[in-house]
Amino acid sequence: MTGNYIVTGSEKESEEGDVNLYLDDNDRFEKITQPAAVHDYPEASIKEPSLWQYFADRIRRVSEPLWHKKSRGDVLGMLAVSWFVSVLTWLANFDAILGRGWRLEVVKKLSLGDDKVVPDFSLSSILGYFANGIILLFARTFYFIPMILFALLSGYKFVKIAWKLAVFIYDKAVVGTDASWSEFFFYKVLPQATAELLVQFLFVTLYTMLVWPVYRILMIQYAVGEIKWTGFFSINQFKRSAGIFRRNASSVYAVYAFMLSLQIALYFILKPIDWVSFGFADRTFLPIVYVIFWYWPIGYAYGVLGRTLIQRGEIRPTGRITPDLNEEYNEEYV
């Protein structure tokens, strides 16, 4: 029997750790090897870049086009229009529609390898951003319908719990019943509310991790002209996009996860500012913040993803691709 043995108590144990001793069929010594154990270091050299360096480098690359001489005017124009629209449509929030359309243009330009990544600023292009923004808003709402329905159904159950609570308080305060708070809470509120929250959590998780990324792929396909706006509402198209997602899940998650985190983090940072200012911040300086820190990086990231998917042959754009899909371009932007 040839076995694999750990030898302890050998002379070299203290300096070199364990050794593997191989015995032959007659249990005679065959060979001794030095297994790589915890004492060994990874192959990686100190020169291996860290994620910190990677992010620092990407932040520089992502922000560079914004202050590049040839696109400075377009950026300032977009900021001005965004601010102007937000003030003009104080309650309707039209700047969000404009922002979405503008972001779609960023996705398109980066995916197709346009020399100038920042979208143009002209009256016709602004109207185009509005038009695309409205389409995206509809598509987004459509994809949110299951979530909305679920929230309504779940919300109805919470309303029932709230109703029970109101009746309980009324009975206690007006009728003067001596019912116990603890019993009410533990029997009538806790089990139902906990079950409801768990189901909500499960549903939202499934939706966020399995359905929403497919919508993002559809958005890229729409940006590069592979599908028309009707593609958002086609079951066959959804299936095709789900297939792209399944085959390229790690690349999609790579972009999607960070963008989702960025959006949620920004939401929790910016919304309190908005609430404290009674909505004033959202109509004055926040639209500018959104363009720079929300629409631009998200558009850029999905543009990079679009570029990757085009290169893999998963997405077939109808637009002109310039420059060619070469490594020089990849180095420059990705």
Partner 1 sequence: MRIESISEVSASPGFIARDILKIVQFWGKAVGNSANRKRLLSSILAYILLTPSAVSSFFIRGWRFALVREVLLTDGRASLPRLNDIWKIGEAVKQGVKLIGAKFMYDVPKFLILFVFAYDLIDAIIDWFYFLFFQWWMEPAAEVQTASGMVDATVTNFSLSFSSAILLYIVYSCFLTPAFKISEIKYAAGQMKYKGFFDPKELKSSFRLYRKYSAQTLEMYVYDNILMVVSIVIGLFFSLIFPPFILLIYPTVKLMLNHMPKYYGYALLAQRMQENGDIVVREQLADQEAISPLAA
Instruction: Name the site residues for partner 1 (rule: CB under 8 A).
Output: 3-10, 20-21, 35-46, 48-55, 180, 182-183, 186-187, 191, 205, 208-209, 247-255, 257-258, 260-261, 263-265, 268, 307-308, 311-312, 327, 330, 334
Q: In the complex with partner 1, which residue's Cβ is closer, 123 or 331?
A: 331
Q: In the complex with partner 1, which residue's Cβ is closer, 38 or 175?
A: 38
* Residue 28: both structure tokens together: 């005679």
Shortest Cβ 127–partner 1 spacing (Å): 33
Q: Helix (H, G, I), strand (E, B), or coil: what is residue 26?
A: coil
The residue written with tokens 């592979």 in the block is: 226
Distance, in Å, from the CA atom of 182 to the CA atom of 170, rounded to the nearest integer, reads 16
* Residue 259: both structure tokens together: 């963008």
CA distances from 115 to 43, 133, 254 (A): 39, 23, 25
Q: In the complex with partner 1, which residue's Cβ is closer, 205 or 230?
A: 205
Instruction: Yes or no: say if 141 and 147 are a contact pair by the CB < 8 Å rule.
Output: no
Q: In the complex with partner 1, which residue's Cβ is closer, 103 or 307?
A: 307
Shortest Cβ 180–partner 1 spacing (Å): 7
Report the candidate in 219, 234, 254, 238 with the shortest Cα–Cα distance to residue 334.
254
Distance, in Å, from the CA atom of 327 to the CA atom of 334, rounded to the nearest integer, reads 10
Shortest Cβ 265–partner 1 spacing (Å): 4
Amino acid at residue number 126? I
Shortest Cβ 53–partner 1 spacing (Å): 8
Q: In the complex with partner 1, which residue's Cβ is closer, 250 or 318?
A: 250
